[in-house]
Amino acid sequence: MLFLPICYTDKQTTVREVVAELKAAGASWIQFDEPTLVLDLDSHQLQAFTHAYSDLEASLSGLNVLIETYFADIPAGAYKTVTALKGVSAFGFDLVRGTKTLDLIKSAGFPSGKCLFAGVDDGRNIWPNDLTASLSTLHALEATVGKDKLVVSTSCSLLHTAVDLVNETKLDDEIKSWLAFAAQKVVEVNALAKALAGHKDEAFFSANAAAQASRKSSSRVNNAAVQRAAAALRVSDHRRKTNVSARLDAQQKKLNLPILPTTTIGSFPLLQSLISEDEYVKAIKGEISKVVKLQEELNIDVLVHGEPERNDMVEYFGEQMQGIAFTVNGWVQSYGSRCLKPPIIYGDVSCPKAMTVFWSSMAQSMTSRPMKGMLTGPVTILKWSFVRNDQPRFETCYQIALAIKDEVEDLEVAGIQVIQIDEAALREGLPLRKSEQAFYLEWAVHSFRITNCGVIDTTQIHTHMCYSNFNDIIHSIIDMDSDVITIENSRSDEKLLSVFRDGVKYGAGIGPGVYDIHSPRIPSTEEIADRINKMLAVLETNILWVNPDCGLKTRKYPEVMPVLTNMVAAAKLLRTQLASAR
Ligand code: GLN
Ligand code: ZN
C-alpha cells in the first residue's frame, strides 16, 4: 500500500522506485490510498493529481493498480478525475461513510473494463454488516459495472476497528452477538463475495439478520424515557439566560480572583502507583490531598483535584453510564504507538447516579480556593467511542449531553462553583466535507450548551480544547457560550492568536495555553511572561487566564513543579507590571 502525495514533488522518483521494487518482487496489484480525494479539492489540485498519475503511468504498466478513497463521499469532480485516469485498473469507494457515492456511480457511470472495490462493510466501527442490504447494493452495482468487475471490500482499512471478538472474555453473549470486529468483518466480506457469486450461505445470512433484529428490539438498547427527553430538546437551543459579561461579573463577585488567574487543565501526574482495591478510596484521597496542597503552595488560583481516579477521560464516564459496553482487548491505535479501548455505545445513554461529585466535593473540602469540577463533554465522549449506527450521531450526542447536564447540576448543588466540561475532540470531529460542517457544528455546540444551560449565573463554566486549527470554527466556539475556555496554543505556535489579531471579538474568559505539555522542556518565567504579553496585545486583560496547553498526566513531577512555579511567577510579574502601568 502506498501513500502518494497529491502534489508534484521530488518524491515522485521515490514512488517510481518503490513501484519498480514491488514489481520486481512479483507484486501484481498495488493499492494507492488517496483519501484526500474526498476533500473539497479545487481544479488545480485535481489537475496535479492527474499529472502525478500520468507521470507514473509507464512505471505502473503491467500492474493492476487500485486507487482507494474513504471516509466520505467522493465529490463528483474528483470522481470524474480519478475514473478518467489511464493505467489504473480499479477504484475503491467507501460506501458506508459515503452515502451518496452509490448514486454518483449510477448516474455518472463507471469506466468499462475497470473494477470497482465496493466498501460496503464498515471498517471504522464494530457493528456487523447488514448482509442482506449489502447484497442488494452489490447486485445493483453489478448491473452498472458489469459481472466479474465488482470486488467486495471493507469501507476503509481495518486499523480503525478492534481486532477479534474471540479476545473478549467479559462481554456477555448477547452484546457479543451484536458486534463484529476486524476478524468477523473479513468473514462477512467473504460471505458477501460468495453470495454474489451465487453461493449464499443461508444460515450465515439468517443468523446475521436475527442478531440485528435482536439488537433493534432489545430493552438494553431502548430506553423510552431517554428517547423522550432527547426528543424534547428540539424545542429550545438551550442558552443561559444572562449574557456572558454579566455572568462573569457575578462570578467575580463570588470568586474574587486576581487578574490573569492561574489554573491547570485537570490531570496531574500520579504521585505513586495505586495499591489494593480496599485501599482505593484512601489512596485516591491521599493523591487528591497532595495535589491540592501542592497547588496551594504553588499559589494557583483555581485548583483541580488532579483526576487520579480516572483511567481515561472518556472511559471513566462511559463506565458509569448505561447503554455503553467495554471490551478487555478492543484496542485501536490512537496516534503513534498510543492505543486505547474505545467504549461501545450500543443503547440509549443514561446515568443513574452522580459520577464525580464524591471526589470533587472531597477535594473542595480540602481548600478554601475554588476547586474546578472536571467533566468530559458529550461531543468528546461520542467522538472517542464506537458509536451506534442505528440512529444519527447527534441523537446519541444529545443523550450523553443530558447525562452530563445532570452531573453539572449535581456538582453545582454540592457547592462546586467552577465546572470544566472538556471538549477536547470538538475540532477533531469536524466533517471532512465543507458542506457537512455547519450541521455538525450546530448540533455539537448545542449539545455542549445543553450540559450547562441550567446553572445559575455565579457558577462558572469552563471548557477545554486540544489540537490546533480553531480559527475556522471560532464563531462556533464563541457560540458554545462558556464562561472561560482554555485552549491549546503553545504547541501550535500561537496560530490561535492570529484570529484575535484579525479582529474577532471574544468577550468570555480565555486561557490560551502558555506552554506545551507534550514536551519535557521547562520554559523560564521570562519566556512564559513573553507569551502572556503576546496574548495581552490581542486580548483584553480582564478576560485572560494563565494555564498550560493541556492536562499534566503524561508528565513527571520533577518537570511539572518547576514549570508551574514559573507559570505562576510569570502571571504575578505581569500583574505587578499591569498594576503599576495604570
Ligand atoms: N481534563 C483533562 C486532563 O487534564 C483534559 C485532557 C485533554 O484535553 N485531552 O487530563
Ligand atoms: Zn487538552
- Residue 173 above 60 pLDDT? yes
| Ligand 1 atom 7, closest CA | 424
Q: Give the ligand at the shortest distance from the Cα of 490.
A: 2
Ligand nearest to the CA of 340: 1
> Does one domain contain both 402 and 441?
yes
Distance CA 156, CA 100 (A): 16
Mean pLDDT computed over 361-382? 98
What pLDDT does 9 receive?
Answer: 47
Higher pLDDT, 5 or 463: 463
Strands (E) across 87-172 are located at 90-94, 115-121, 150-154
Inform me whether the pLDDT recorded for 4 exceeds 50: no
Query: Which is the closest atom of ligand 1 to the Cα of 551?
Result: 4
Query: How many Å is the Cα radius of gyration of the chain?
Result: 27
Which residues does a 6 A CB cutoff place in the pocket of ligand 1? 265-267, 307, 313, 374, 422, 424, 464, 466, 550-551, 553
Q: Tens digit of pLDDT for each residue in 38-51?
A: 999 999 999 999 99
Return the biggest CA–CA distance within the chain.
85
* Mean pLDDT score, 88-105: 95
pLDDT of 473 over the 70 cut: yes
User: Do 19 and 148 share a structural domain?
Assistant: yes
**Is 222 a domain residue?**
no
Is pLDDT above 80 for 494? no
To the nearest 10 degrees (0 to 180), the angle between helices 131-145 and 182-196 is 50
Query: Do 178 and 288 share a domain, yes or no?
Result: no
Q: Provide the 10 A C-beta neighbour count for residue 326.
A: 16
The span from the CA of 416 to the CA of 142, in Å, is 61
**Quick one: pLDDT at residue 11?**
53
For the stretch 220-237, pLDDT in tens is 999 999 999 999 998 899
Ligand 1 atom 4: residue of nearest CA? 551
Closest ligand 1 atom to the C-alpha of 374? 1
Cα(466) to centroid of ligand 1, in Å? 8
Q: Whole-angstrom Cα distance, residue 161 to residue 158?
A: 6
Would residue 157 count as lying in a domain? Answer: yes
How far is residue 385's CA from residue 393's CA, in Å, rounded to a whole number?
11
pLDDT digits (tens, 9 = 90+) for 239-285: 999 999 999 999 999 999 999 999 999 999 976 666 777 788 899 99
In one-letter notation, the amino acid at residue 574 is L
Same domain, 75 and 184: yes
| Residue pLDDT, tens place only, 438-471 | 999 999 999 999 999 999 999 999 999 987 678 8
Which of 464, 484, 518, 553, when mutated, tests ligand 1's pocket best, judged by the most ligand atoms within 8 Å of its CB?
464
Q: Which residues pair with 345 in a beta bridge?
A: 324
If you measure from the C-alpha of residue 226 to the centroid of ligand 2, how many angstroms do you get, rounded to a whole number? 30
Beta carbons within 10 angstroms of residue 315's beta carbon: 20
Quick check: is 518 catalytic? yes
Q: Is the pLDDT of residue 5 over 90?
A: no
Q: What is the DSSP letter of 443?
A: H
| DSSP 8-state code for residue 89 | -
Share of the chain above pLDDT 70, in %: 97
- Asked whether residue 235 is assigned to any structural domain, the reply reads no
Query: Higher model confidence: residue 504 or residue 31?
Result: 31
**Any domain includes 226:** no
Residue of the nearest CA to atom 3 in ligand 1?
A: 551
Q: Is the dihedral of CA 145, 148, 151, 152 positive or negative?
A: positive
Q: How confident is the model at residue 12, as a pLDDT?
A: 55
Q: pLDDT tens across 382-430, in order? A: 999 999 999 999 999 999 999 999 999 999 999 999 999 999 999 999 9
Per-residue pLDDT, 514: 95
pLDDT at 65: 96
Is 239 part of a structural domain of the chain? Answer: no
Q: Are residues 328 and 389 in the same domain?
A: yes
Contact predicate 349/399, CB 8 Å = yes
The helix/strand/coil state of 244 is helix
Same domain, 423 and 337: yes
Amino acid at 257: L
Minimum CA distance residue for ligand 1 atom 8? 424
- Asked if residue 237 is part of any domain, the answer here is no
Q: Which residues of 163-199 are buried (b: 16+ CB within 10 A; e: fewer)?
A: eebeebeebeeebebbbbbbebbeebbebbeebbeee
CATH label of the domain that carries residue 107: 3.20.20.210
In a domain, 233, yes or no: no
DSSP state, 160?
A: G
Task: Specify whether 141 is located in the same domain as 262.
Answer: no
Separation CA 274–CA 267 (nearest Å): 16
481 and 532 inside one domain:
yes
Q: Which ligand is nearest to the CA of 267?
A: 1
Where is pLDDT greater, at 499 or 274? 499
Domain that holds residue 545: 245-581
Q: What share of the chain is helix, strand, coil (3-state, %, to 5)?
A: 45, 15, 40
Taking the centre of ligand 1 as the mean of its atom positions, its distance from the CA of residue 238, in whole angstroms, is 25
* Of residues 527, 469, 528, the one with CA closest to residue 498: 469
Question: Is residue 433 domain-shared with residue 529, that is, in the same domain?
Answer: yes
Task: Kindly state whether residues 378 and 435 are assigned to the same domain.
Answer: yes
Mean pLDDT estimate for the chain: 93
Tell me how far the alpha carbon of residue 32 lies from the centroid of ligand 2, in angstroms. 34
Q: Count Cβ atoms below 10 Å from residue 404 Cβ, excluding itself.
A: 25
65 in a domain, yes or no? yes
Say if residue 455 is in the same domain as residue 387: yes
According to the model, what pLDDT value does residue 498 have? 86
* pLDDT tops 50 at residue 120: yes
Region 302-306: mean pLDDT is 98
Q: Give per-residue pLDDT as tens, 528-561.
A: 999 999 999 999 999 999 999 999 999 999 999 9
Average pLDDT over residues 161-170: 96
Tell me which residue has cell 505562576: 568
pLDDT of residue 511: 95
User: What pLDDT, on the 0 to 100 scale, is given for residue 270?
Assistant: 77
Domain count, the chain: 2
3-state secondary structure of 333: strand
Q: Extract the C-alpha cell encoding 500.
A: 484575535
| Residue 213 shares a structural domain with residue 334 | no
Tell me the C-alpha distance between 81 and 91, whole Å: 12
Top mutation candidate among 263, 310, 371, 422 for ligand 1, by most atoms within 8 Å of CB = 422
